[in-house]
Chains A and B, each alone.
Chain A
């Protein structure tokens, strides 16, 4: 018995050691990022590991807000993210509902096509998407940033799975009472789907806020840059490599904060979203 205790003590200790070590590995880069964004350039270069800026300066932030287009990028990101998220929640849930509950010809074919699209690797679509946007004269517009990604196969899949898990009885009662399909969907089913809608809202927000590759093939006008695009430009373009780290890290922090806040508040919905993937297999 005593040996068991010693062993479990040892394994608890090892457990904590591993946890703390990896927590440092996973979080310390963010600590470094925050600290360095408040450092002077020479301090950032001389003491990259130090979590304390000495002296503390807002110089990086001043520069990034006043001498780059960061405010513009923030505005574009916000606009694009909100429209895409609202669109996805609405369109994906409508399609998911129809595929789960309505019987209409072609339903199966549509669902298998959507499943097949889940498997199409995104990078393969770079040039194809550009071709379509170009052909339709949408290239370099807000439409190009938003429309191609306003509905997504994964969201439809998540919503369909969820609607199938709901009991049919409530809808049937509504139907008996004479409610039409749209009314049933809007005032009965959607309110019941709140957890799934929240999951979808949050992963859509996160996905479109972080989206980079699509913006690369959809627009080239700097007026239309979103934050990730502007940030990438800032790092690889005008300012050159190796310098101005406080400024760049501050700008990167601006891209991280909204997702971080949403993450802290709605953690379990992120988790649900991540595990939605495991049900696909």
Chain B
């Protein structure tokens, strides 16, 4: 080995060393430590690696899934809330981002740069600061209710309303009476929640967080779609037009297929981030009212740092990790299937 080779090796190691040490110390090591803690009943006092810390095996995990009790009920409630949240936020933000990108991409319109900036701006601001603004906007005497008032609608008390939107809708069309749900739905269900509880939909309070997040994230995703749209050669769409394809056909058969990689990325990033919603819950609702804005991320924080059950809290965060990984893999698999079809 020549001297210059040795020097290059040394330089290489020196250059990456700080990043490797920091990421190793604050990402890799913590995950391993947390895995251990999730198998104990550590209460936050002293080191979790002393012999006196009770080792409980997979108890923290089984309490989330198999044992009847408050731990499971809270966890499943948080999962239910987050499932509805994901199911609404991801399609909405993706559709809105794509729609805005298509309009902003149009060469006929002036002032496109301004509009792009306007739509993107909320994404770069502080989630905490924005949450404070939305607390005011959705307050009982806030802007949203004032706006609804102009149309003669008496707006709800957004942050205090724990009623499920799906329950309300079913009630409104007269399928069921939310005040007296059918016995068949309330008498049983999986994981300690009744079918009726599973089918609540997001609560009215949760819809404010949904609105906030769709509002803040669409801008970023719009930019991603926009970058992809601008990579599509104009000639391709023009050729299709010349061949007699209508606008809608061009969009479906030319534009949309070209956007597929970006669509995949936006959906994946959306799925990953929606399962992590935390800042907004912390500022706006702390899981209230009636635990209907509780999410696994917040529950894990609350369990560890407020109830000092670090083992249990860590177990929740690992389950959340698993949910995110599995969903990403499923999505990758679905998209691959379709590509070959």
Contacts and interface: CB of A to CB of B under 8 A. Distances in A.
A264 to B, nearest CB: 8
B12 A274 contact: no
| Residue from the set B9, B26, B100 with the largest chain A CB neighbour count within 10 Å | B26
Given A19-B115, A117-B23, A98 B133 contact: no
A97 interface: yes
Contacts of B265: 277-278, 280-281
B275 interface: yes
Interface in B89-134: 99-100, 103-104, 106, 108-109, 111, 114-134
A228 B279 CA distance: 10
A173 to B, nearest CB: 16
B251 interface: no
14 contacts: A22-B118, A26-B215, A48-B142, A103-B12, A120-B321, A121-B275, A125-B27, A147-B26, A228-B126, A229-B128, A248-B136, A263-B124, A275-B227, A277-B269
Contacts of B180: none
Contact of B23 (A11, A25, A114): A114
Interface stretch (A164-172, A191-199, A206-214): A206-214
Contacts of A45: 141
A126 B304 contact: yes
A256 interface: yes
Interface in B35-56: 37, 47-48
Interface of A: 8, 11-12, 15-16, 18-19, 22-23, 25-27, 29-30, 32-33, 36, 44-49, 91-92, 94-95, 97-99, 102-107, 110, 113-114, 117, 119-132, 135, 147-151, 153, 156, 180-182, 185, 206, 209-210, 212-213, 216-217, 227-229, 231-232, 235-236, 241-242, 245, 248-249, 251-253, 255-256, 259-260, 263-264, 267, 270-271, 274-275, 277-278, 280-281
A242 B142 CA distance: 10
A78 to B, nearest CB: 14
B133 A277 contact: no
Contacts of B68: none
B34 A277 contact: no
Contacts of B137: 29, 32, 48
The 6 A-B pairs with the shortest beta carbon distances in the complex, nearest first, are: A128-B30, A104-B12, A98-B15, A181-B11, A281-B265, A102-B12
B146 A121 contact: no
Given A22-B100, A102-B8, A150-B22, A132 B29 contact: yes
Nearest to B7: A181
Contacts of B99: 18
B317 A271 contact: no
Contacts of A135: 33, 47-48
A7 to B, nearest CB: 10
Contacts of B121: 26-27, 30, 260, 263
| Residue from the set B31, B99, B264, B328 with the largest chain A CB neighbour count within 10 Å | B31
A251 B132 CA distance: 9
B305 interface: yes
Nearest to A136: B25
A236 B118 CA distance: 29
- Chain B, interface size category, equals 35 or more
A32 B136 CA distance: 9
Chain B, interface SS category:
helix
B125 A256 contact: yes
B198 to A, nearest CB: 23
B283 A274 contact: no
B16 to A, nearest CB: 5
A48 B18 contact: no
| Residue from the set A97, A105, A277 with the largest chain B CB neighbour count within 10 Å | A277
Contacts of B48: 131, 135
Contacts of B220: 274, 277
B262 A278 contact: yes
B255 interface: no
A189 to B, nearest CB: 11
A47 B147 CA distance: 11
Given A255-B126, A260-B121, A245 B136 contact: yes
A228 B25 CA distance: 25
| Residue from the set A124, A248, A259 with the largest chain B CB neighbour count within 10 Å | A124
B152 to A, nearest CB: 16
A154 to B, nearest CB: 11
Nearest to B296: A123
Contacts of A150: 22
| Residue from the set A209, A212, A231 with the largest chain B CB neighbour count within 10 Å | A212
B276 interface: yes
B16 A94 contact: yes
Given A33-B133, A127-B310, A48 B223 contact: no
Contacts of B142: 48
Interface in B140-184: 140-143, 145-147, 159
A46 to B, nearest CB: 7
Nearest to A93: B15
B143 to A, nearest CB: 4
A151 B19 contact: yes
Given A94-B15, A210-B126, A281-B261, A36 B22 contact: no
